[in-house]
Structures are given as structure tokens and as C-alpha cells.
Chain A
Amino acid sequence: MRKAFIAFASFAILALSTAAVEAQHDTLTLAMTLEPAPGLDPTVGPAAAIREITYGNLFEGLARIDRNAEVKPALAESWTVSADGLIYTFKLRQGVRFHDGTEFDSADVKFSLERAMAPDSRNAQKWIFAPIARIETPDRYAVVVTLKRPAGNFLYGLGWGDAVIVAPETAAHNSTNPIGTGPFKFDRWVKGDRVELSRFDGYWRKDAVALRKVTFRFIPDAQAQISALLARDVDAVPLFAAPEAVAQFKTDKRFSVTVGATEGETILALNNRKPPFNDVRVRQALAHAIDRKAIIEGAMSGYGTPIGSHFSPGHPAYVDLTGRYPYDPAKAKALLAEAGYPNGLKATLRLPPPPYARRGGEIVAAQLSKVGIQVSIEPVEWAQWLDNVFQNKQFDMTIISHVEPMDIDKYAVDDYYFGYRNPHFKEVMSAIDRATDPAAQNRLYKEAQTLLAEDSVNVFLFQLPRITVANADVIGLWQNVPLPANDVTEVSWRK
């Protein structure tokens, strides 16, 4: 009797669990730490969480950035660039429809670009559109964009979430009811809980899409993400918030773990505009005093790639400058003495909430104390960090990850929060903007990285990893993120 019961029970459990797996084969549930704000329109808000839902799924641009960081045609089937780099002619894809059924054509392109570059536009990446002089639409499927000056990053910029194509009739409501041309259409947003998308049957390459339904759940707590994975409530956490728990999932055959790269350069930012950090010797001393390996080990459980300048190690123009200031406390002390601080100095370190900053900050403080720098740690909320550090520049040191792709150009912005000023660096950056030949551009990027390392503007720590924990049967998730995105177009379940 008892045996029969056990047999029956195990059969029932088996039947139930296979039923559950069966039902999952064309749906996917992803967990995200943050909820998008404000709204779901990537053309008016810079938040990464907006892109992590909409990029490649709901909205598309003329070009797209693929998982290997390459610029690929999307709504534009092809393009040609004039020899002087000023005239871009786009041939648009035909038969593309928006989710509301209206057809996509050149008028939508003209509208979207002009809306983004307008003086009252809230687009966060105006640099993409700044070079545009005029936009012409010779016919329904051709767009000619004339630039004021050559812009080497123009096509790359058009691949960003900020440059997606929207329709004039629906653009104003995209924050709450996004209508794009992507493979998935917006179903609903249960605030505080989830966003649901479903397959758009009018998609132009419908056959490439395997999933019928995609749900993004908002789970801010790292422990809750772990439970949700273990209870099979979510199929994947693409940006897993708890590196210390990765080992547990690696040994569990039900899950796959990938560690890729983000565009997040994590730095110990120094206030270059005030003493003692206006002295390059002090900044170099700090670079020598920091042991990146120990920080990555302690704050990130070993996940993260050391960097020696403000540039992504995955980019072809990357130069490894991590050896420029090897860990050498004695050298650091000597440099401090040379700069007039033989007895060390005192400084504050403001730390925003992410664990990499809070945990990393403790280790940084301990390492700096070994060379005579007394650090007082001040944990701050994100809103306070933006207010004190970013806006009002009231800080000595802080730890932060700069997650925008290719944001080395921020070092050329006057009065940016860390206060770096170097005319030569600015020249290099504007030369990059003018260069249309990728090889020349890469050469200049290398020079720019080296300049930042020489000036030791900030202490460059590590590239933030993208740790994805997923059900072992889910395939096709992006491992690296060349820009904030969870493009699930090509995701499917292993048969």
C-alpha cells in the first residue's frame, strides 16, 4: 500500500512538473532589479531599465547594435555614405508595420529624428543628432540625411535606444503604451510587479522569433532573485545582483551561468578640481596604492575585468593600461611625500548604494590607509549622490560605474563632476568625432585612453561583469551587453 502511494505520488509530481515545463516552451520570464522610470519611452529617458525592456524587443532604429557590438542594418535595409562623409542615404525596409498596424515609411524616420533633435526635446543623447543639418525623404522608402560636419559615430549612435523610430500618431504615449516596430508588442505593465510583452504577428522577420510571450518581473532584492530562480518562478536573471551566490548556481545542473561584459567602467572618481587631488602626483599615488585584484575578489567575488583607463576591454581599440601603475604602496608613499604629504592626508569617500560601491569602498579605504590616507566613508542614497557629487561636486572621492557605452568622451565635458580639464584630450576627442575611417578612429581612441592613464584622472578599477543566471534550457540570451539591453528576439528553449 505504502509503496503504491509513493509510486502514485512520484508519478503525480512528475506529471505536474513535466506539464509545467511543457507550458514554458514558448514563454520567458526575466527578472530585473530596477523598474523603468520615467515610463517606457527610451527617447525621453536615459534609464538603463527602459532599454532593458524595450531595446530590440519593442522598438527598433534604422541601425541596431548586435550582441557583438557591431552596427547592423535594422529598419534601414542598407545605406551609403558620400565620400566626404556628409551625406547618408538610407534605403528603408518595405512592409514593416508598427504594432498598431500602420505602415512604417520615411515620414516616420524624418519625424523621429526631428523630434529627437528639437530644442525642447528631452532626448538624453543629443550628440547623436547634433551633426544633422537636414533630413529629406525623396520617396516612401528613402531617407537622405545631410550632416553639418563629418561624424564618425553617426551610424553607431543611430543604433542606440535613444534613436529608435516612433510613429507621429503614437509617440506622445510611448511612456505608458509603447508602440514600435519590434518583434514583441506591449501588453501591459502591472506597476511594481511586471511588464508583459507578446509576439507581434506583423513583424518583418517573424520567423526568427521563437517566443510567444515575454514577462519582465521586477525583483529588487538579491535574495528574492535567488529564491525566484530556485522556485522556477523566473527563467533568467540577466543582470544577477549577487555575485557571491554564483558558485551555488554553477554547481546546479538546472541552471546555466554566463559571465560577460557590460560597458560599465567602475572607477574611484577623484575631485580633480580641489586639493589634494588637483595634483597629478597625488592621483598617481592613489593608483599605486590600489590593488584591483583584491577589490574585485572582495567586492565582486572575483567577477570583473581590471581596467587601467576609461575604456571597455571588449572594444577593438582597447589598450591594456593596467600595468601603468602597479600595486606598490612604497611608491605611493614616495609620491605623496613628493607632493607635499609626507604624513599622509585625510579624505572622504562617498558611496552610492550598489554593492560594488559599498563593498568596494571598504576595501579601497583599507588599502589607502596603508599608505597614510585616512578615509572617512559616507554612504549616500542614489538621489543624494546625484545631488551632492554629480551636480554640486561636493566630494573628495567616490566609487561609481559609468554604464553608458563609449563614454570616454565625458572627460572632454567642461565641468563634469570629476573636473578634468586637458585641452589636448579635447582635441583628440573632436578628432575622433571627425574621423570617418574606423582605423584612424581606433588609433585616436588608444591615444585618448593613454592620456587619461598618464594624468591618472581617476583610479580605474574594473569593468562591471554581466552575470546571467538562467534555466539551463534557455538559449540565445546575450552574454555581453554592448549597450543596456535584454534583446530576446533570438531566445528560445532547447528542444
Chain B
Amino acid sequence: MIAFVLRRVLGLAATLAAASLVVFVVLEVLPGDPALVMLGTEAQPQTLALLRAEMGLDQPAPQRYLAWVAGLVRGDLGLSYTYRVPVGELVVQRLAVTLPLTVLAISLSTALAIPLGVFAAARHRRWGDSAIMAFAQMGMAIPNFWLALLLVLVFAVQLGWFSAGGFPGWSDSPGAAFKALVLPAIALALPQAAILARVTRSAVLDMMGEDFVRTARAKGLSRDAALWRHALRNALIPVLTIMGLQFSFLLAGAVIVENVFYLPGLGRLVFQAVSQRDLIVVKNVVLLLAATVVIVNFIVDLLYAAVDPRLRTGR
């Protein structure tokens, strides 16, 4: 188990080093000068040069790359061009929205999807299965931003139960902050739940055809008991894979839903930073996301190993 973890940690470090280089190079070739974006149509050559020097953009690229990596190692992410505050501070503020939102959305979608998926598998080819799968099909077809708009129209504009968007902050009133995340979490969770329910159903059905389930049935277990005790546990591997992907996706991929609810989340930070060429924010956040994806995959691998002992020895 220790060798397994060590191998994975080394791979993780190498991936991050490669990612930092790719992120830097991509941003180098991206057209658009951060200083020019700040000054806009009022830019004059002299002020442009001053601003570039202040932002360190007059240095050669290899030097800037090394300075960035050195800063990362020290834990210093630099100062945002546009907000003039440390990038680390910005990221922490945004994570205070994005992480709870992601966790809420994933919990909701899991709580919905796994029971529904298993139920559908248990009722295979009966009307319960067809009904659930029809809903799942619909859930997958509905874009989350459209669902978000619909939720705003019904629950904020018509009924007035929720705000149409925004985020009051945890320190002022935790209750209001949680409430502000409810509609966005639903908008994110439903399409995810639809996918997860389908995956759960087909994974359980696959397992039901396996030899060990047949053996369990032969021992005299009922179909349902075999499903709950044997098939489900083994079906969790593909389900965990999808959940890992969904978690990583939600961290930055929630940007469209964040826009509809004007939530100050991580996705919108990156989106805005790209359009304003706040490159220092972009490169740090992108790298951070890459690191998160790698780490989430790592955790998923560990969970696999926990669920399936055969994977621990790498055989």
C-alpha cells in the first residue's frame, strides 16, 4: 500500500510540473496585452510602458517563468493585476463559494442518483425502471443554465422565496449564504444526477451478470439481496470514477450557472481573468485546478483500492 501511494505521489508531482509549463506557454502565446487591457482606448505609449514595467512584463519569458515557479514553491502566488490583492486571498474567497456549492451539488446528485439507479436496476425492464430512465434522459438533455434560469424565474421572480442571485458571505449570515447556494446547487445537481443514475444502473446490471452474483444466487440469496450485498459494492467503482470527474468539473465548470446566479465563484474568477488578461490569476488558478483534478483522481484511486483489494498490489 505504501509503495502504491509513493508511486502515485511521484506521478502527481511530475504531472504538476508539466502542467505549469503548459499553462505558462499557452498564456504566452495568447494574444492580448494585460497592460493594454487595463488602459483600454486611453492607452498612451508612455503609460503603457510604465504599467508593463510595474507588472514585470518587460522581463524575458524564461525569467518570468522561473520567478513564478519560485513563488509557487514559497507559496506566494503574486498580486492580481486587476484587483491589486494577493491571488491566494482571491482564490480562498472564491473557494468559500465554490467548494460548498460543489459539495452541496455532489451530495444532492448522489443522494438522488444512487438510490434511483439501484432501484431502476432492481426493477430492470419494469415500468419503474423505464420511468426513472426517461427522467434521466430528460435531465441529461436539459442544459444546466436553462434549468438555472427556470429556477430563478419560478422561485425568485414569481414566488420570491429566494434571491435571484448573489452571495451574502458566510460571516454575515450563514443561513442566508446557504440559502443563496440552494438554487445553484439544484441547477448543477440535476443534470449530474441524471448521468450518475444511468451509470449506477448499468454498473449494477453488469455486476448482476457476473459469476459471483450467480454463485450468491445459487447459495439461495434472493435477487434483491444479491444486488444490495454483492453487486452494488462492486458497481461502485465506475460510479466513483464519474463522481470524481463531476467534482473536478464543478470546481471551474460551474461558470455558466455562476453567471446566471452572479455568484462570485472560482469559475467566474477564471472567466473574468481571461477576458481581462489578468494572467497572473489565470495561470495560478488553472494550475490549482489541475492540481485538484490530479489530487481528486489520486483520492479516487485510493478509494478504488479500498473498495477492491486487488488494485492495491497493482495486479
Contacts and interface: CB of A to CB of B under 8 A. Distances in A.
A384 B32 contact: yes
Interface stretch (B148-156, B194-202, B235-243): B148-156
Contacts of B37: 382-383, 386
A231 B41 contact: no
A125 B42 contact: yes
Interface string A277-306: 000000000000000000000000000000
A228 B260 CA distance: 10
Interface string A42-66: 0001110000000000000000000
Interface string B193-223: 0000000000000000000000000000000
A400 B40 CA distance: 12
A176 interface: yes
B246 interface: no
B259 A383 contact: no
Contact of A381 (B152, B153, B272, B275): B275
B107 interface: no
A383 B36 CA distance: 8
Given A38-B38, A224-B165, A386-B36, A122 B50 contact: yes
Interface stretch (B68-76, B128-136, B261-269): B261-269
Contacts of A400: 41
Contact of B38 (A45, A228, A387, A388): A45
B82 A404 contact: no
B7 interface: no
A47 B40 contact: yes
A39 interface: yes
B50 A37 contact: no
Interface in B26-44: 31-33, 36-44
B100 interface: no
Contact of B262 (A39, A220, A390): A220
A342 to B, nearest CB: 36
Contacts of A218: 262
A38 to B, nearest CB: 5
Given A35-B272, A191-B83, A227 B156 contact: yes
B313 to A, nearest CB: 47
A491 interface: no
B248 interface: no
Given A39-B84, A227-B152, A381-B275, A221 B259 contact: yes
B276 interface: yes
A383 B260 contact: no
Contacts of B47: 122-124, 126
B163 interface: yes
Contacts of B82: 35, 37-39
B24 interface: no
A193 interface: yes
By size class, the interface of chain A is 35 or more
Given A124-B42, A192-B268, A382-B37, A217 B262 contact: yes
A194 interface: yes
Contacts of A107: none
A386 B84 contact: no
Nearest to A29: B166
A120 B46 CA distance: 9
B260 A223 contact: yes
Nearest to A39: B84
A193 B39 CA distance: 23
A219 interface: yes
A19 B302 CA distance: 53
A384 B31 contact: yes
Given A193-B264, A383-B276, A233 B163 contact: yes
Given A37-B38, A193-B167, A387 B260 contact: no
Given A38-B82, A125-B42, A390-B43, A233 B166 contact: yes
A369 interface: no
A94 interface: no
A188 B268 CA distance: 20
A193 B262 contact: yes
B156 A231 contact: yes
Interface in A153-210: 175-176, 190-194
Contacts of B44: 124, 126
A227 B31 contact: no
A391 interface: yes
Contact of B275 (A46, A120, A217, A383): A383
B90 interface: yes
Nearest to B261: A224
Nearest to B265: A192
A96 interface: no
* Among A38, A125, A191: residue with most chain B CB under 10 A: A38
Contacts of A120: 50
Contacts of A190: 93, 167, 169, 264
Contacts of B152: 224, 227, 231
B102 to A, nearest CB: 16
A217 B168 CA distance: 11
A230 B157 contact: yes
Interface in A306-332: none
B156 A37 contact: no
A381 B50 CA distance: 24
Most chain A beta carbons < 10 A, residue from B152, B163, B164, B167: B164
A221 B262 CA distance: 8
Interface string A416-429: 00000000000000
A172 to B, nearest CB: 11
A402 interface: yes
Contacts of A224: 152, 164-165, 259-262
B264 A191 contact: yes
A193 B96 CA distance: 13
Contact of A233 (B32, B164, B259, B277): B164
Contacts of A391: 33, 36, 43
Contacts of B33: 383, 386-387, 391
Nearest to B156: A231
Contacts of A390: 36, 41, 43
Interface string A214-253: 0001111101100110111100000000000000000000
A176 B84 contact: yes
A233 B149 contact: no
B51 interface: yes
Contacts of B153: 227
A201 B273 CA distance: 36
7 contacts: A47-B40, A120-B50, A175-B84, A192-B264, A228-B165, A231-B163, A387-B31
The 6 closest A-B pairs by CB, nearest first: A383-B32, A192-B264, A37-B82, A231-B164, A46-B42, A227-B164
